[in-house]
Each structure stands twice: as structure tokens, then as C-alpha cells.
Chains A and B, each alone.
Chain A
Amino acid sequence: MAFKKFTSLEGICNYFGKGENAALVVTTTVAAFKGIFRPTFTLMDKKQDPESKQYAAFRELLTEVIAIPTYIAFDKISKWLTTSVYKNNVSEGQLKNIKVTSGFIGVCIAALAIPAICNVLQPPVMDAFKKHQNSKKTKKGLDINLDNNSAVINQSKTVIQKPEITNPVAATKKQSAMDVYLMTRNSSGMRVGN
């Protein structure tokens, strides 16, 4: 099995020593660990309310989930393009250099493209997540316009009813997905991913 070489320190060092996929390995590994640690740190943040924390953590996880296949795709595509162009024109050593350099360039282009891809893919997913959060709130009889419903819960402990806000002034402007997105983004230094 190909993964057997990664089970020992010698196998791992041998693979890294060849340096064929250095850029891809380091960027995808860092992205994977970011996908684990950054949402964890966000959820551990005591300054934010739970809903915002969940939203921010999910967004950070989604960023890394988008990033990893993007890096791999751009690396493979750039290597395939350059080797198909140059394989008959250069020596073996030169072809190896071309593969390594083009893989690096592919990873760099991916690093530039990931924010754009996230701008396209994230909003619908985050909207769906927000709707899911709102539906959970509605089921519990809470106000979807409030960040923190604990006061409502405490005050209406004896009578559980859906809060009715009759005064239009009191009715807070419903926060759009972008409002919550910017709010959670501004609240910590752990915003966009890799």
C-alpha cells in the first residue's frame, strides 16, 4: 500500500526529502489543522454568544473544507498541463524540475483563488446554516431576531409563549446573514482561513 511509507519516521522523511509535493503537503496540512483548531478556539471564546460562535466556527471550518480540495486540484492541474506540454522536449531531470515548480505555482494560484471561491460558495451554505439556527430557535419558542434569548427564557419561565413585540420601535431590525457574518468576523482575529 502506498500509505505504508508514511507509517514510519524514515518513510515520512524519505517522502519529504524528495520534495516533489512540498508546497501541496505543507499548505493542505496547515489547512487541515486550521480547520480543527480555529473553530475550536472560536467555540472556546467566552466573549461571544453561543449562536455567533457556532456561526463563526462553522464558517471557518467551511473555509478550510473549501481550501483543501482547491489546493489539490490546482496542483494536479498545473502539473498535468506543464508535463503534457514539455514531456517530449526536455530531459528527465528538467521534467522533474518543471513538475515541482508548476505544482508550487498551482498552489500559489489556489491561495489567491480560495477567497474568491469562498465568496461564491460560502453565502448559500451560511444562509442555510442561519436558517437552520433560526428554525431551531423557532421550535424552542424563541425570538429569531435576538442574539441572546436567555432573558426572554428567564422572564417567561412560568408562561411559555412566543414573545410578541408590538412596538415597531422595539422591533429590532432583523439581522441579515451578512450582518451576522461581519459581526462574527470582526469579533476575533481568527477570521478567514488559511
Chain B
Amino acid sequence: MTRIQPTNTSSIKFQGNGNFLAKQGFANFAESMGGAIIFTTVLRAASRPAFIYADKTAEPEAKKYSAAKELLYQLLCLCITIAILPSFKKGGFAIAKKAFAEKNPKIKDIFEDIESKKPYFTDKKPDEVEKLKGFKRFLDRFKNEKPHSNETQLIKGSIELGSLVGSILGLTILAPQIGNLTLHPIMKAIGLKKEEKPQVNTEAASQPIGPKTNSVNVQA
């Protein structure tokens, strides 16, 4: 397959004070929901434990435990997001094909081009392009085609919708449930235990006057 060279529309030269804000590569990354959620999760994994540790009102052991647990939880969120997003992107791509291809002949043509692996406008080498399939092939083509047509934006939007649904499912439902099951054993394995408050012996402390009190025991 012959490689079609990108035209000047994809390599923007800017004048004056050139800066990374106007670069197409950064804009492509910033337009991707999957990239945004993964990057912000990495930032949270770095910042939240640091803030917990910087808390001067808490006890050192409690801070250490909380910061370690928070770090593990954010890393778990990151792993879950990275694991499930590609499947949801594929799902979004499939939804675009089902929902839009029949109604819109242009979209049907785009899907046929992708499946037939026709050459397209790309900055990748031919052997790299050959390996791309389905939504990855579409995304590579989308990245290099400027300006975007309404049809390609629609398909891209469907892939992003898949990313959004995957992020919501991963971070709001899966991560807390898996965290509840796995974090306690991991914390025990690395030797970090939750500090338990001393129990009050209610039998010795109870007096004839006044009712019996419950023991004060911080639950796990």
C-alpha cells in the first residue's frame, strides 16, 4: 500500500511565539476523553496521598495508612480504566456503524473504506498502518484528516461516548467494589495496619449508678 503523505494542513506552522498550546499533537490528546481521564487519574494518584500526608492535624500512623491506601486506590482506578477503555471504544465504534451507517451513505462509505483497508491520509509507515484495525484505523485516519467532515466527527463522537461510559463504569462502580475486596488484604500484606483505638472495658467501668455503656471499638 502506498503511503499518502500528509499535506501542510496537518503540520501547522505558527508564527510569533511558538508554544506547545497550538501544537496539533497536544490538541489531539486533549480532545480524547480516554487520555484526559487517565492523565487526571495519574495526577490524583500523585496529589491526593501527598495532601493526606501533609495534614498536620492527623496522627502520623493514620496519615501513613490513609495515604498508602489512597495511592493504592488511585492506582487501582488507573489500571481498571486502562483495561476497560479499549473495549468500550470498540463498542462505541460498533454503535456508530449500527446507528448511523444505514441512515447515512457517507458514513457507510467510511466504514467500507476502513474495512477494505484502502490507503488514506496518514503520517504512519505502511507496515504500521497495515496492523491497524477497526476503530484504531479510523482514529489514525481521523487524526490526519483536516478539516474533519461531519461524518467522521460523528463516528469519533461515538467512540468518545464509549470512552465516557467506560470511564463512568470503571471509576464509579468497578473501582470501589474491587477496592473494597482487595485493598485491605494488600495493606495487610505490605505491613500497614489500621490503628485501632483501645477498647474500654465496660464491665469494670460500669457503676451501680448509670446504665452500662457500649465498648468503644473503631470498626474496620
B163 interface hit (Cβ, 8 Å): yes
Chain A residue nearest to B205 (CB atoms) is A170
Whether the pair B30, A23 counts as a contact (CB closer than 8 A) is: yes
A135 within 8 A of B: no
The digit string for B110-133, where 1 denotes a CB below 8 A from any CB of A, is: 000000000000000000000000
The chain B residue sitting closest to A169, CB to CB, is B205
How many chain A residues touch the partner (CB < 8 A)? 82
Q: Are A47 and B16 in contact (CB under 8 A)?
A: no
| Contact, CB under 8 Å: A26 / B211 | no
- Which of these, A25, A37, A90, A161, contacts B33 with CB under 8 Å? A25
Binding site of A, secondary structure by majority: helix, strand, loop or mixed?
A: helix
Q: Taking the complex as formed, is B200 at the interface, i.e. its CB lies under 8 A from any CB of chain A?
A: yes
> Are B70's CB and A192's CB within 8 A?
yes
Given contacts A30-B37, A30-B172, A178-B58, contact A22 B154 (CB under 8 A): no
Per-residue B-contact encoding for A144-156, CB less than 8 Å = 1, 0 else: 0111110110011
Which of A13, A30, A52, A100 makes the CB contact (< 8 A) with B30? A100
> In the complex, what distance in Å separates the CA atom of A116 from the CA atom of B155?
39
Docked-complex contact A98 and B22, CB < 8 angstroms = yes
Q: Say whether B51 contacts A116, CB under 8 Å.
A: yes
CB within 8 Å of A: which residues of B? 12, 14-17, 20-24, 26-27, 29-33, 36-37, 39-40, 43-44, 47-48, 51-52, 55, 57-59, 62, 65-66, 69-70, 73, 95-96, 99-100, 146, 148, 150, 152-158, 160-161, 163-164, 167-168, 171-173, 176-177, 179-180, 183-184, 194, 200, 202, 204-207, 209-214, 216, 218-220
- A interface residue numbers (CB < 8 A to B): 9-10, 12-20, 22-23, 25-27, 29-30, 33-34, 36-38, 41, 47-49, 52, 82, 86, 89-91, 93-98, 100-104, 107-108, 111-112, 115-116, 119, 143, 145-149, 151-152, 155-156, 161, 163-167, 169-170, 172, 178, 182-183, 185-192, 194
**Could you list 6 A-B pairs, sorted by A, with CB under 8 Å?**
A14-B154, A22-B160, A30-B167, A101-B20, A165-B213, A167-B205
